[in-house]
A and B are shown apart, each in its own frame.
Chain A
């Protein structure tokens, strides 16, 4: 079974930074677009960012544009999300997911990781 494992979630004050990581097993991320999707406590799902499989094109939700940066390290088969200038409204479980369907940042997601909790509070 394909699995994804996120790490890096923590408690941080507003204005702070965090770097999330995602390491898949049983597939190589260089062959797929990869995404981050978040879920605020008790709320629904919100797409955050996608990185393409080729040329590393990156796409962001308006809510995080200019503050978050997605990247991949193919040598370590790891996906990252650098989160700067964090706000209380960024508090959520962050899931990484493989993006399928071939669209430019227009994909469905399978599989999803277990998620990592980011809490932004003073």
Chain B
């Protein structure tokens, strides 16, 4: 199984500042047939189900604010929140769908400093 490792476990960022979350896969998740990385990012607000933010590592889901962006390739990926808002307080998960079983990172908790 592909192991997904997120860092940090938690971070506190001031409103309006940048938040950066890292995700590393134990093997490359670059899908050769379309040259895309099989990685998704989810946001889980307290008491709510997860919601997809990004797929194919950098494609923003419809309706997701453009302050959220995904980058990276191969085994190293980043989710960036360019200007943290109060409603962004949540746990963020990365997930690989390169092969089965799909696996998730352990999550990164984002709080307001």
A107 and B102 contact, CB distance less than 8 A: yes
Q: Does A27 contact B (CB under 8 A)?
A: no
Number of interface residues, chain A, beta carbon within 8 A: 24
17 additional contacts (CB under 8 A) given A107-B97, A110-B51:
A44-B93, A44-B105, A45-B42, A45-B93, A45-B104, A46-B104, A47-B101, A59-B100, A62-B101, A101-B97, A106-B99, A108-B40, A108-B102, A109-B40, A112-B51, A113-B49, A115-B49
- Give chain B residues whose Cβ lies under 8 Å from the Cβ of A44: 93, 104-107
Proximity bits, B25-57, A CB within 8 Å = 1, else 0: 000000000000010101000000111100100
- Expressed in whole angstroms, the Cα–Cα distance for A103 and B36 within the complex equals 13
- Expressed in whole angstroms, the Cα–Cα distance for A110 and B55 within the complex equals 10
- Expressed in whole angstroms, the Cα–Cα distance for A107 and B100 within the complex equals 9
Q: Does A105 contact B (CB under 8 A)?
A: yes
Number of A-B contacts (CB under 8 A): 65
Given A44-B104, A45-B93, A46-B104, does the pair A106, B98 have CB atoms closer than 8 Å? yes
Given A45-B50, A112-B49, A113-B49, does the pair A106, B55 have CB atoms closer than 8 Å? no
A103 and B49 contact, CB distance less than 8 A: no
CB closest chain-A residue, reference B40: A108
- Give chain A residues whose Cβ lies under 8 Å from the Cβ of B52: 108-111
Q: Does B103 contact A (CB under 8 A)?
A: yes
- Expressed in whole angstroms, the Cα–Cα distance for A45 and B97 within the complex equals 14
* A-B CB contact pairs (8 Å), 25 listed: A44-B104, A44-B106, A44-B107, A45-B50, A45-B93, A45-B95, A47-B101, A47-B102, A101-B38, A101-B55, A101-B97, A103-B38, A105-B100, A105-B101, A105-B102, A106-B99, A108-B40, A108-B52, A108-B102, A109-B40, A110-B51, A110-B61, A111-B51, A112-B49, A112-B51
B95 and A108 contact, CB distance less than 8 A: yes
Q: Could you tell me the distance in whole angstroms from the C-beta of B11 to the nearest C-beta in chain A?
A: 17
- Give chain B residues whose Cβ lies under 8 Å from the Cβ of A107: 97, 102
- Expressed in whole angstroms, the Cα–Cα distance for A46 and B101 within the complex equals 10
- Which of A46, A62, A100, A114 meets B49, CB within 8 Å? A114
Q: Does A104 contact B (CB under 8 A)?
A: yes
B97 and A103 contact, CB distance less than 8 A: yes
